[in-house]
A and B are shown apart, each in its own frame.
Chain A
């Protein structure tokens, strides 16, 4: 019996070890996460949730790095992208995407599911705030009201982003109940336009003209006014106003906007005007940046005006000219990716000849003319000196054969920056816009991106008024002021509506180059299938030397460059060598009737058969 003491020991030990509660042993819960009620009854969490929508904003339109580290400029007639990162721009330009192939995988953030993920976050926020009667900021009452209004704007904004890429969308202004097994339907443009406007009008009514300094950068009234102008411009553009979408137009309710309605232009103009005349404390809220006088950027051979560079850097420009701001879009390494190889860069996106041709020539009569305008030749344009006397924004936006950058001359004929050398340009041009000219691959700076700038809205106003009531002194004043701000010569006087229309379109391409506008404005205007462009394309095809026929059609079906050819007879002299400049076709691109909108991937249609595929896919 004396050995029982060991058994006793064992039993005691057993009890000690097993004393942890068995019932609760598996009740584990992550302590870094919280539940819905906790979130919505605490101001800090509510605020954190509202602010999360700003990060969503940055992720849904990724500004200067829309396609991984490429800008969507590379899938327009602005630029050519390199083969880096699986050559994402080429995957778009060559049509390597579709419902069943799927969308290029690295360019995420701007696809159907991404937008609805963000929209849900806005709806979860708005629903929760209402359900839990969330508390306002105790230190700064009124913040909650602002956040709710900002969320309304962002909900409208995300829908609009989706509509830009996909056309018809489903407007979600609620959190769907999973049990209801809802059948989603892509709504007609006028229907969801109305809903976008409801959300925007709510934001316009609730938001201040300008937030406090510490809150600067949030959505304010102007952002909502500007987006409203853009949405109404879309509504007035051929795509939704009497134009014919090529192919089999399967958009819902398309008959309601098949006819042309001139009044739509008035709506757009009024909306733009509301922004342009909006005030803060009695003073105009927005104005064009005019800092830096007429100084030239150092080390640019007095070609680049400091002011044009500073529009994208100076806080004065950001606060007064930018309307919708994305902060910290990217860091300085972006510039390292884009500068020429001889500066240690990767020349990631290279401007095309198509874009270069849009920068006007300043004629000897003091007015600007398109290089392909017969007028230009009359006013002194010399095709063998293509980079002389161009719009000052050209020198600021593009590096060309003979340009001076950081006191060195760019040479695309020999050496490391030669066309076709490893890592070098394939078009003959390097990007320059958005660069910090003095950045020499050391030091850090944040790259903020203007999602909407005042000139875009001014151009909408000019175009809408020109469409609605023809040329006017007001249009001239606005256009010439915008050009003069960049030291550009004015528009020649006395143009008819059609000629002025071209100047406005060109102004947009130049002023808003590389700001993610071209892709959409080209489509809203149905440019790739407009009669003029198709005729231009046919003419080139008929020519024995199709690659040399320009101006190039804006059909998005080809890309061109310009190469220097050493020739003693050439009049362009770079590093002591005489060159002739020669146009060449870089590549063909795919643009068919389906390319106006992105397709839904086939799994989405399979998951929700009530959703119709985008037109022509």
Chain B
């Protein structure tokens, strides 16, 4: 270390000078006083002044004073020491006075207890790993001392230490090694990797613990895993990563609204409130959203699964807790600067494929004739169907249109991701700062065809500054600021609508009408040089119109999360006690510039903001091919609408949140007894829009004890309250106990030395959930005040007066019935876990078995079959605490890590989660068939939550005779059946298909019971590769509408298209092999039933969720460019999927109706540079 040597030289020089000055000025007394008045002065000037007035000598290195700050001074008759106290108050420096000599030093140096340093030597050496690879960044320090250095890129270090010192070498992921110096000036060290470093700290509720001492069920991952998925939403990087975490992206892949749904250990309550089944999410100890954090700023992502881990969250902990911590500074000798740049292409995993015009025409005719053999509807001619087979598709050949709107509208889009972070610190100040920029371009075509480019762009800017300051040895401050700006430019259309048009509009219709020279059209053509967009009263939206002529929105969302904490050690009260106070204030604000073009509405019919046209002779002219020569008309009342010039400062709605936490921490060892304790109080207030603030507060408590790191005991508890309940029912005590036994730390285990580590742990406790049932439209304002009886007052009026147009208030009425006895849901949770490592630490297994008993479930009577008051009362029964659900399952994680030879290492770490719930009680209505007999199989009680109840497909109506028989008996209630229609099984044998009584539980609920992930990877020299296979099983999807039906009905009156599966329909000729019933045009509940087992599909799947291939350039090559590490990588997300939905041609992660936006496949390339 070059710098160290310089310092030593300087110190020697100091000693010489000191000696001389002593001799010179020893005569001067100590009691001299001086007066100084200077503004914005420097130390140097003050020193000169003091020297001039008193003759004191100053010794310092010039570079030290360069760090000093300017200051003001104004003193009268002060001693030199007093003057210097003032000068040095805010300086990173300190001084000592010996006689008339003043020595200036760095502050830390002065803290060394003895003024005279012991004889020092310089120790040099190299740190390598087991494979002989040099390790960079290993922290090398004197045991018990403060000074430290880290190794350079070659693993080399150089440190000046007392010759009797002991050096300590520590590096994350490796066992810490200590080595006495004993006068050696050269020490080489090999660090061995710690397979699961037990000294690692694990984030727990309101704190951290050593991994060894954790007795609750907690799983964590870090930045490295999150980085592997190039997704803009972090929730999409979680699937398959952690045992016990169920992650499903059912919402689809539309940029900006593609978040996954996350559950811990499945679903344990049928309570349907907005957040009633979801875990709470804490970022740096405060309830915050994590989805749009930059992966680079995340340190750990942990899930707390059992009662022991979540009890400190008390009334809110029942569904588990997700903890995210952001990165903070570390003591390093120089700042670590990392730059990341990545760019990629994203496109849909798959678009559904529909039949072209020829098959559409053929099946259309068939469906119409099935509906009515004497149909008055126009049909396609056989010749035209043949023409469609030959047609190019754009009608340039006059053979008719055959338009694929997915091709027309979509293209792959580009995304970019850049971030720069700086991490570093000294003993006094540690910092992590980050700036990130992410840009995702839209994947629409044609958006540049209007005056304003309307393509969707999503930009995200992340900022973070986490600073830790040790003001004194005992007093510290932390300032954490996280900021985010999300800027979305979006066309005036919605992704759902674009997808919907592509899914539904028959291919026989054009996007732009052909111009013809019919004089009636002249004015239109002149006015619309962009072309006459096709649109009718049914097909009201035009694809091009939506993409190019719908205007645009420019939406900004700003988020600022800040926390400030102060802490103080209270060793003077008792050793190991610390107090910490944290205040945080989070705000979000929005503003949106609205340049959309307003829609035209007429009754339920809504048109886009652009003019559309269709042939005056009716759209049926397109069924005939050829070139239309007649007039065009518009279904709309007006021509193009004018663009909005709107501005909305409350989109998204503003929110602010303040949170105050104060805690006392205690940690101390008494011989082999280790004790910790935590007492924490917190208060949170969230103000959203104009709502009455949402509040909660409470106290959390934890104490842990272990004896000799063999026996571990822990008690966690919270006493906290929720504003959702009446006084006296608001606060509850939620305790949990846990114990663990590390067998491998026992003497008797020595003979079982092949077991490297074995811990058994168990926990039992009570946690709660205060979320009220009922879905609020805005999840930010869940239902509340269920205990208060109110009268609603709104702005409704009723028109009276002789002209019937003067409104009188009609706006007061009794609100929903209240239940003042309402209180929280309770969950008793038990968990038994085992952690094992063997085969020389290469194999690790963590297994947990859990059982949860949820009771007093907050129930909305009348919902989902729970018993209600008679409707005659005129109001629904108030919410009640009554239900019981049990949930049990297994979390399993197995890891294998090994090397082959020196350069090749690999790992595989499969994880597996299984959770099954059962409704034990929900005060269900009687399930009685119309014939008066009970049908117990129709009951929801005893089944799983969200169990799918379906009519079971039996067979297709074989012939007219059977159809007549069924119709005469009114066997099915959806109108008359024809041959080829579906016949369902009569479950209760009453000769009729009724609703509840003939639907039985079948398949699996939508949320999978089993989820698993198989991360695996390998590295060879500078190359590394990793995969994540992820999957789900025991899940079913009930498909409806465009996902399954022939000619489905949409948007109230639009009739959709047909898929390849519909070619397998029943016809008299294909009766034996048909897999799909006879076709019908539009709504036909008998066949196209939302509860038909024909459309209940197994949604199990395995995905190649992510693949990453990287290459790290050897440090030696980079050295001359000043870089320490450079890694190039290529990634892919959702590259391959294996599922059982081929026939339906949809992705297993999708919603069930017609407007799904496929999840995205991303190919991404990037580089990390550290310097």
- Does the CB pair B811–A52 fall under 8 Å? yes
Report if A28-B723 is in contact (Cβ < 8 Å); known contacts: A18-B681, A83-B1082, A100-B930: yes
Report if A344-B973 is in contact (Cβ < 8 Å); known contacts: A29-B788, A51-B808: no
Report if A318-B804 is in contact (Cβ < 8 Å); known contacts: A17-B660, A28-B695, A184-B870: yes
Nearest-Cβ distance from residue A219 to partner chain B, whole angstroms: 11
Whether A45 is near chain B, meaning CB under 8 Å from some CB there, is yes
- Does the CB pair B617–A35 fall under 8 Å? no
Nearest-Cβ distance from residue B506 to partner chain A, whole angstroms: 11
**CB-contacts of A72-112 with B (<8 A):** 82-87, 90, 94-102, 112
Nearest-Cβ distance from residue B805 to partner chain A, whole angstroms: 7
| CA gap between A254 and B1049 in the complex, in Å | 45
The residue from A121, A175, A441 contacting B602, defined by CB atoms under 8 A apart:
A441
Whether B37 is near chain A, meaning CB under 8 Å from some CB there, is no
Stretch at the interface among B450-458, B488-496, B745-753, B794-802: B794-802
- Does the CB pair A36–B791 fall under 8 Å? yes
- Does the CB pair A26–B995 fall under 8 Å? no
Residues of A within 8 A of B375 (CB): 420
| CA gap between A26 and B997 in the complex, in Å | 46
The residue from A13, A48, A448, A604 contacting B804, defined by CB atoms under 8 A apart:
A448
Nearest-Cβ distance from residue B1099 to partner chain A, whole angstroms: 26
- Does the CB pair A45–B619 fall under 8 Å? no
- Does the CB pair B566–A26 fall under 8 Å? no
- Does the CB pair B1053–A121 fall under 8 Å? no
Interface flags for A53-83 (1: CB within 8 Å of B; 0: not) read 1110010000000000100000000000011
The residue from A30, A215, A325, A421 contacting B618, defined by CB atoms under 8 A apart:
A421
Task: Count residues of chain B with CB under 8 A from any CB of chain A.
Answer: 109
Nearest-Cβ distance from residue B1059 to partner chain A, whole angstroms: 21
| CA gap between A285 and B770 in the complex, in Å | 60
- Does the CB pair A442–B1053 fall under 8 Å? no
Report if A30-B790 is in contact (Cβ < 8 Å); known contacts: A327-B799, A333-B602, A422-B620: yes
- Does the CB pair B566–A13 fall under 8 Å? yes
| CA gap between A150 and B801 in the complex, in Å | 16
The residue from B602, B800, B994, B1052 contacting A101, defined by CB atoms under 8 A apart:
B994
Nearest-Cβ distance from residue A546 to partner chain B, whole angstroms: 14
Residues of B within 8 A of A253 (CB): none
- Does the CB pair A113–B871 fall under 8 Å? yes
Nearest-Cβ distance from residue B788 to partner chain A, whole angstroms: 7
| CA gap between A214 and B996 in the complex, in Å | 52
Stretch at the interface among A2-10, A383-391, A502-510: A2-10
- Does the CB pair A602–B603 fall under 8 Å? no
Whether B536 is near chain A, meaning CB under 8 Å from some CB there, is yes
Whether A34 is near chain B, meaning CB under 8 Å from some CB there, is yes
Whether A170 is near chain B, meaning CB under 8 Å from some CB there, is yes
**CB-contacts of B1008-1058 with A (<8 A):** 1049, 1052-1053
- Does the CB pair A422–B811 fall under 8 Å? no
Nearest-Cβ distance from residue A107 to partner chain B, whole angstroms: 14
Whether A334 is near chain B, meaning CB under 8 Å from some CB there, is yes
Residues of B within 8 A of A341 (CB): 537, 618
Considering only CB atoms, which chain A residue lies closest to B1053 in the complex? A84
- Does the CB pair B568–A344 fall under 8 Å? no
Query: What band does the interface of chain A fall in when counting residues whose beta carbon is under 8 Å from B?
Result: 35 or more
Report if A29-B785 is in contact (Cβ < 8 Å); known contacts: A84-B1053, A446-B804: yes
Whether A315 is near chain B, meaning CB under 8 Å from some CB there, is yes
Residues of A within 8 A of B995 (CB): 98, 100-102
Considering only CB atoms, which chain A residue lies closest to B617 in the complex? A415
Nearest-Cβ distance from residue A213 to partner chain B, whole angstroms: 5
Residues of B within 8 A of A14 (CB): 581, 662
**CB-contacts of B513-563 with A (<8 A):** 536-538
Residues of B within 8 A of A604 (CB): 870-871
Interface flags for B354-392 (1: CB within 8 Å of A; 0: not) read 000000000000000000001111100000000000000
Residues of A within 8 A of B603 (CB): 69, 333-334, 336-337, 346
Stretch at the interface among A227-235, A399-407, A606-614: A606-614
| CA gap between A94 and B800 in the complex, in Å | 39
Nearest-Cβ distance from residue B999 to partner chain A, whole angstroms: 9
Whether A319 is near chain B, meaning CB under 8 Å from some CB there, is yes
- Does the CB pair A48–B810 fall under 8 Å? yes
Interface flags for A589-605 (1: CB within 8 Å of B; 0: not) read 01000000000001110
Whether B980 is near chain A, meaning CB under 8 Å from some CB there, is no
**CB-contacts of B765-793 with A (<8 A):** 784-785, 788-793
Whether B31 is near chain A, meaning CB under 8 Å from some CB there, is no
| CA gap between A176 and B994 in the complex, in Å | 33
| CA gap between A116 and B872 in the complex, in Å | 5
Residues of B within 8 A of A569 (CB): none
Question: Which secondary structure dominates chain B's binding surface?
Answer: loop
- Does the CB pair A33–B696 fall under 8 Å? no
- Does the CB pair A120–B814 fall under 8 Å? yes
| CA gap between A96 and B568 in the complex, in Å | 72
Nearest-Cβ distance from residue B630 to partner chain A, whole angstroms: 10
- Does the CB pair B604–A49 fall under 8 Å? no
Whether A328 is near chain B, meaning CB under 8 Å from some CB there, is yes
Whether B812 is near chain A, meaning CB under 8 Å from some CB there, is yes
Whether B697 is near chain A, meaning CB under 8 Å from some CB there, is yes
**CB-contacts of A112-144 with B (<8 A):** 112-113, 116-121, 123-124
Whether B806 is near chain A, meaning CB under 8 Å from some CB there, is yes
Residues of A within 8 A of B638 (CB): 442
- Does the CB pair A6–B472 fall under 8 Å? yes
Nearest-Cβ distance from residue A27 to partner chain B, whole angstroms: 8
- Does the CB pair B798–A55 fall under 8 Å? yes
Nearest-Cβ distance from residue B160 to partner chain A, whole angstroms: 29
Residues of A within 8 A of B697 (CB): 22, 25-26
Residues of A within 8 A of B815 (CB): 33
Whether B953 is near chain A, meaning CB under 8 Å from some CB there, is no
| CA gap between A113 and B976 in the complex, in Å | 30
- Does the CB pair A51–B811 fall under 8 Å? yes
Whether B47 is near chain A, meaning CB under 8 Å from some CB there, is no
Residues of A within 8 A of B784 (CB): 28
Nearest-Cβ distance from residue B618 to partner chain A, whole angstroms: 4
Residues of A within 8 A of B601 (CB): 333
- Does the CB pair A346–B811 fall under 8 Å? no
**CB-contacts of B270-296 with A (<8 A):** none
Residues of A within 8 A of B616 (CB): 342, 415-416
Whether A554 is near chain B, meaning CB under 8 Å from some CB there, is no
Whether A310 is near chain B, meaning CB under 8 Å from some CB there, is no
Stretch at the interface among B174-182, B259-267, B423-431, B861-869: B861-869
Considering only CB atoms, which chain A residue lies closest to B926 in the complex? A606
The residue from A26, A83, A315 contacting B1049, defined by CB atoms under 8 A apart:
A83
Whether A218 is near chain B, meaning CB under 8 Å from some CB there, is yes
Whether A260 is near chain B, meaning CB under 8 Å from some CB there, is no
Considering only CB atoms, which chain B residue lies closest to A26 in the complex? B723
Residues of A within 8 A of B581 (CB): 10, 13-14, 17
Residues of A within 8 A of B1068 (CB): none
**CB-contacts of A438-453 with B (<8 A):** 441-442, 446, 448
- Does the CB pair A325–B804 fall under 8 Å? yes
The residue from A10, A26, A58, A327 contacting B730, defined by CB atoms under 8 A apart:
A26
Whether A283 is near chain B, meaning CB under 8 Å from some CB there, is no
- Does the CB pair B870–A611 fall under 8 Å? yes
Whether B635 is near chain A, meaning CB under 8 Å from some CB there, is yes
- Does the CB pair A607–B618 fall under 8 Å? no
Nearest-Cβ distance from residue A24 to partner chain B, whole angstroms: 10
- Assuming A26-B695, A422-B619, A606-B925, what are 10 further A-B pairs, CB within 8 angstroms? A9-B566, A28-B723, A28-B784, A29-B788, A55-B810, A216-B804, A341-B537, A416-B618, A602-B930, A606-B928
Could you show 28 A-B contacts with beta carbons less than 8 Å apart? Answer: A10-B475, A10-B579, A13-B581, A28-B695, A29-B785, A34-B793, A47-B808, A51-B811, A54-B798, A83-B1082, A84-B1053, A116-B871, A116-B874, A117-B875, A121-B874, A123-B874, A178-B873, A333-B602, A336-B605, A346-B605, A420-B375, A420-B376, A424-B618, A446-B804, A446-B805, A590-B970, A602-B928, A606-B926
Ordered nearest first, which 8 A-B pairs have the shortest CB separation?
A120-B874, A420-B376, A608-B870, A333-B603, A113-B871, A51-B810, A606-B925, A48-B812
